[in-house]
Each structure stands twice: as C-alpha cells, then as structure tokens.
A = this chain, B = another copy of it.
Amino acid sequence: MALQNKKVSDAVIKRLPRYFRYLADLKENGVLRISSKALSEKMNLTASQIRQDLSCFGGFGQQGYGYNVESLYNEMKKILGVDRGFRTIIVGAGNLGQAIANHSKFEARGYFVKGIFDIDQSLIGTSINGVIIQHMDEIDNFCSRETIDVAILTVPREITAEIAEKIVKLGIKGIWNFSAMDLRLPEEVVVENVHLSDSIMVLGYKIINN
C-alpha cells in the first residue's frame, strides 16, 4: 500500500516491531481478521492509537471489517525491511556476540550474519552458526568484497568509538551498539543503542520506588 512520506515519530517507530510480533502471533494462530478494538486490547493500546499509528503508513483498516491479519502482517514486514533483509556483521565475538550470532530470531527478522570479527586468536577460525570468526584485520577486505548494511558492535567500551569510526569508513549505514557508550556519528549512519546496564538500573530504580 502507501509508503509514508511524512516524518514518523520515534514513539510510533518503537511500536512497529510490537505490531509485527502481535500480527505474527495472530497469523500463526490462524486468525484471519481482527478489529482495532480487539487488537488494542491484546496490545494494551487504545484503538484510536492503533488507527493513528497505522495511518502514518496509509491506513490498512476497513470500517466495520477491521484489519486483515495477513495483509497487515505483510505490510509490517515491508515497513520494517524484514523481507528486504539486512546483510550483517558482528564485531566482537565474546559471550554477547556469540549469543546474538546463535539467535535464530534475528535471521527470521531479516538480519543475516555474513561475517564475525574479533581479535582473540583462540576464537579466530572457529565458527558460530556456520559463520567463521575472522581477525579484525580482515574486516576491510571483507567489506570491500561484500555489501554490508548493519554492524552489530559487541566490543569493550574502551574501543567502541574507534571501531564505530572504522565501521563508518567502511560505508556501513547502520550500527546496533551494545557498549554502554553513546556514539556520535555522521547523520548518514543510524545508530541504535542497547544499553543493557541502563536497562537493569531502570528496573532497580522502579523496584525501590514501586
């Protein structure tokens, strides 16, 4: 259907993967259509919120019919690039990098791990989920041969800024950053931070103040 042409707010963007998840579940459970009211109850949103969110992308609902689950699911896949796919590398093959490389969920979302890089000699040459871990020195060659869309950074905090600069120079346009460091990069590079220790500290604050 219609592609968005206005700026979509961050709050809406953050909800898109939730729509994708809930629609995937509905589809898997054989649900063919759902009213915005029923979807809103499931998702703990208001029906008007859902209508507003989806209107950013051209609507999709039909008065009195609700949403066709499969077609809305397919639209979400397009909007989120799931069917387009993202060629991905992981930089840092420690515990967290390995956990991500082993997690089949990311591939199901369109993120295909093409390369894994580290500097630990004991890891280099071993493989995770069929992908061989290469030395960081190989990353330039690798990226000149392969077009990479996303770099997942699971490196120590101290070297994150330096690695991120290298990633930018290699022409990679998206960084998923797991180090507890806020990166400031050129506008043409998108960074999504996962600050795990920030997240657990928010939990702690809420426990104390609940």
Among A118-126, A139-147, A159-167, A173-181, the stretch in contact with B? A173-181
A127 interface contact, C-beta 8 A: no
Contact with B along A198-210 (1 / 0, CB 8 A): 1111111111111
Contact with B along A30-51 (1 / 0, CB 8 A): 0000000000000010000000
A196 interface contact, C-beta 8 A: yes
Asked if residues A204 and B111 are in contact (CB atoms below 8 Å), the reply is yes
Residues of A within 8 A of B (CB): 4, 8, 13-14, 16-18, 20-21, 44, 79-82, 84, 86, 94-96, 98-100, 102-103, 105-106, 109-111, 149-150, 152, 173-176, 180, 182, 184, 187-188, 190, 192, 194-210
Q: Closest CB of chain B to A60's CB: distance in Å?
A: 17
Closest chain B residue, CB of each to CB of A206: B190
Residues of B within 8 A of A207 (CB): 81, 86, 149-150, 173-174, 190
Asked if residues B201 and A109 are in contact (CB atoms below 8 Å), the reply is yes
Asked if residues B195 and A17 are in contact (CB atoms below 8 Å), the reply is yes
Contact among B86, B100, B175, B201 for A20, CB-based, below 8 A: B201
Chain B CB within 10 Å, residue with most, of A96, A152, A173: A96
Q: Closest CB of chain B to A189's CB: distance in Å?
A: 8
20 new A-B pairs (CB below 8 Å) besides A109-B197, A152-B200? Answer: A20-B201, A81-B204, A81-B207, A86-B207, A95-B95, A95-B102, A100-B196, A103-B196, A105-B197, A106-B197, A111-B204, A150-B200, A150-B203, A150-B207, A174-B203, A190-B203, A190-B207, A192-B199, A192-B200, A192-B206
Asked if residues A203 and B182 are in contact (CB atoms below 8 Å), the reply is no
Residues of B within 8 A of A192 (CB): 199-200, 202-203, 206
Asked if residues A174 and B86 are in contact (CB atoms below 8 Å), the reply is no
Q: Closest CB of chain B to A147's CB: distance in Å?
A: 13
Asked if residues B205 and A81 are in contact (CB atoms below 8 Å), the reply is yes
